[in-house]
Amino acid sequence: MFNRESWMSLMPFLAVCLGAGGVASVLTSGAVRTWYPQLRKPEWNPPNWVFGPVRTVLYVMMAMSAWLVWRVGRGATAAMALFAVQLLLNAAWSLIFFRLHAIGLAFGEILLLWMMVVATAVAFLPISFLAAWLLVPYMVWVGFASYLNFRIWQMN
């Protein structure tokens, strides 16, 4: 078992979070290059190069957040379960939107993802104030991505 006090115990959390994002990216990269550019998008749609760095920073913050909660140990099981669910929903959104091209279904799924991120932050708050706050930029990004998903759905 990992020493909960060691920074090295953060590594599995980084691997899981970055891995989830990486697997989703690999499985959707073709559609990102071919299908997505053909869609009509709002003028405020960020350039494609923005998404990778932003997502990477958010995945690192998510990993740190989960690690801080895990380090506390006691009373963290339910909160960590919420974290796992939202991470799965995060990866599922990419597959639904980019792989299945199901923009409307992806919008419904991303709303569920946003609610799970909020629920995770709320569950993390009594365990670790910092862990909860590390999820706030992710919450904001998913909110922005939800609106972008909605507008793309409307426009296509």
For 23-71, write each residue's pLDDT tens digit.
999 989 999 999 999 999 999 999 989 999 999 999 999 999 999 999 9
For 7-36+48-155, CATH number out of 3.30.379.10, 3.30.1330.60, 1.20.1260.100, 1.10.1060.10 equals 1.20.1260.100
Cα-Cα end-to-end distance for the chain: 50
Mean pLDDT value across residues 111-136: 98
| pLDDT band at residue 74 under the 50/70/90 scheme | confident
Mean pLDDT value across residues 135-142: 98
pTM of this structure: 0.92
Asked if residue 21 lies in contact with residue 59, where contact means CB atoms within 8 angstroms, the answer is yes
Residue 111 to residues 45, 52, 55, 101, Cα–Cα distance (Å): 19, 21, 18, 17
